[in-house]
A = this chain, B = another copy of it.
Amino acid sequence: MTDAQAATLRDVAMLAGVHVGTASRALSTDQSDRVRPTTRKRVIDAAKQLGYRPNAVAQSLRKGSTATLGVVVADLSNPYFAQLLRGIDSEAQQRGVLPLVAETHEDPKKLRTVMHRLLTNRVDAIILSAAHQTDESFIAELENQLPVVLAVRTVGSVEYPTNPTVHRREVLQNDVEGTRAAVKHLVSLGHTQIAQLRGPSDISSFVDRCAGYQSEMRRHSQLVDVSDATIAQASTIQEGYRMTSMLLSRDRTQQPTGIVAHNDLMAVGALDAIRDMGLRCPEDVSVIGYNDAPLIDHVYPPLSTIRLPSFEIGRQSARLAFSALDNHITAPVRIMLMPDFVKRESTGPASS
């Protein structure tokens, strides 16, 4: 398939009748004024004529940086990923930086493998949106090899957003306020028996969503938390279904009329379970999700949920990474964005 060898800078220089060093300067953005305009034109013409394309590999080797950014997510099929990457790319593109994406499948071992690959490829920095609580020391090691930005998830609990203990570079969304808003919404609809569906507690988002839920529950004396003690193995439809089925097969007085799921998929499982138990949503049980995934406004009934500002998180993460690269700053930063509550039809007045 491959035809002629690609033209190198040597070829361009020869055609233009200059030395390769001169050609390099002529074609560079920041040094091109150190070459006579007429010469520069000759070089540029020669390059065009030969279809010259600089070899990024050689540039990287020489410069010691690759203009490349690792993006690590747990699950490529999680819809927030596309938005996150677009946010990242919106910053990366103007800088001429190429994002390399990798997936961990929520597997700490895979995270290490993937990081290995990325480091071998000499990415300039990493945006990590797949951290588990147990990865803390691994990430710390990583951080003194290259700039790391934690996106969406962090390590350790945020607990309260005003907590000033900031350890590293991270761009988060306020999970605590997110589930708080969910509980507040249920309170405003007159619900008193409420339960949460907890996602895996080795992921900071779920830890904080749990914290937000519980702290808001405590604020209202009329509320009773009928959550089950179990935690989902994975934040899937199946687990949401399983947990909700258990909740709804209890004695009537122990059943929730409002459910706060830690993500949309578990909420969808809850909707299925409610229907299968012969109950109706929202007449008998209200359900709230988290993320505002695509099509989640088209499930039945359309799901009330919390919208994650993924694009913005991506943008800010990339900015943070680049500023670390430019300023060699080592100071910790935490950017905390606010989620939006989105009211749809899966929530309604409490049943009496």
Chain A residues packing against B (C-beta within 8 Å): 1-3, 6, 53-58, 60-61, 66, 75-77, 79, 81-83, 85-86, 89, 98-101, 103, 116-117, 119-122, 143-148, 237, 268, 271-272, 293-296, 298-300, 324, 328, 330
Partner of A122, one of B55, B81, B145: B55
Residue from A101, A144, A298 having most chain B Cβ neighbours under 10 A: A298
| Residues of B contacting A121 in the complex (Cβ-Cβ under 8 angstroms) | 56-57, 98
| Residues of B contacting A268 in the complex (Cβ-Cβ under 8 angstroms) | 295, 298
Partner of A86, one of B2, B57, B76, B294: B76
Partner of A146, one of B1, B79, B101: B1
| Residues of B contacting A82 in the complex (Cβ-Cβ under 8 angstroms) | 75-77, 81
Q: Is there an interface contact between B295 and A122, defined as CB atoms closer than 8 Å?
A: no
**Contact A1/B328 with A53-B120, A86-B76 known, Cβ cut-off 8 Å:** yes
| Residues of B contacting A330 in the complex (Cβ-Cβ under 8 angstroms) | 1
Copies of this chain assembled into the complex: 2
| Residues of B contacting A3 in the complex (Cβ-Cβ under 8 angstroms) | 144-145
Give Cα distance in the complex from A148 to B1, angstroms: 9
Residue from A77, A143, A237 having most chain B Cβ neighbours under 10 A: A77
Which residue of B has the minimal Cβ distance to A54?
B120
Which residue of B has the minimal Cβ distance to A268?
B298
Partner of A56, one of B120, B144, B272: B120
Give Cα distance in the complex from A77 to B268, angstroms: 20
| Residues of B contacting A55 in the complex (Cβ-Cβ under 8 angstroms) | 61, 120, 122
| Residues of B contacting A56 in the complex (Cβ-Cβ under 8 angstroms) | 120-122
| Residues of B contacting A53 in the complex (Cβ-Cβ under 8 angstroms) | 116, 119-120
Q: Is there an interface contact between B299 and A77, defined as CB atoms closer than 8 Å?
A: no
Give Cα distance in the complex from A294 to B76, angstroms: 13
Give Cα distance in the complex from A79 to B294, angstroms: 10
